[in-house]
Structure 1
Amino acid sequence: MVIIYNMSNRNNIAYYYNFRRNCLINFKLKISIIFKKKLGIHKIIYTL
């Protein structure tokens, strides 16, 4: 029981860090997409 618990605990920690890393990557992608959209809006305003 203790060994299984320790293994599952390690897996949960590894999963948690991977989940956080994926969230950070997704967050950066969302920021870059929003930034590009804002730049596109500014370009449209400047061209108008």
Structure 2
Amino acid sequence: MTLHSNAAQLVTLAEGGHHGPHASINPFVTGGGALLALLLLLWITTRFNRDR
């Protein structure tokens, strides 16, 4: 087996026979959830990092 044929098999395996993103994943919901999680982590970090 050559490197090219191994890479082609891995690409085929990674695709899984599906084309394009899954229909139920909304990028705005994903990005909003990530932003919310990061803001929550920032708030927690600043609460514990107060000077006394």
Give TM-score, length-normalised by structure 2: 0.49
Q: Which residue of 1 aligns with 2:35?
A: 20
Normalization by structure 1: what TM-score?
Answer: 0.53
Q: Which runs of 5+ in 1 are unaligned?
A: 40-48
State the identity as a percent.
9
More helix by share: 1
Aligned residues: 32
1:11 to 9, 23, 26: 26
Moved over 2 A (4+): none
Structure 2: which 5+ residue stretches go unaligned? 1-19
Name the structure 2 match of 1:31: 46
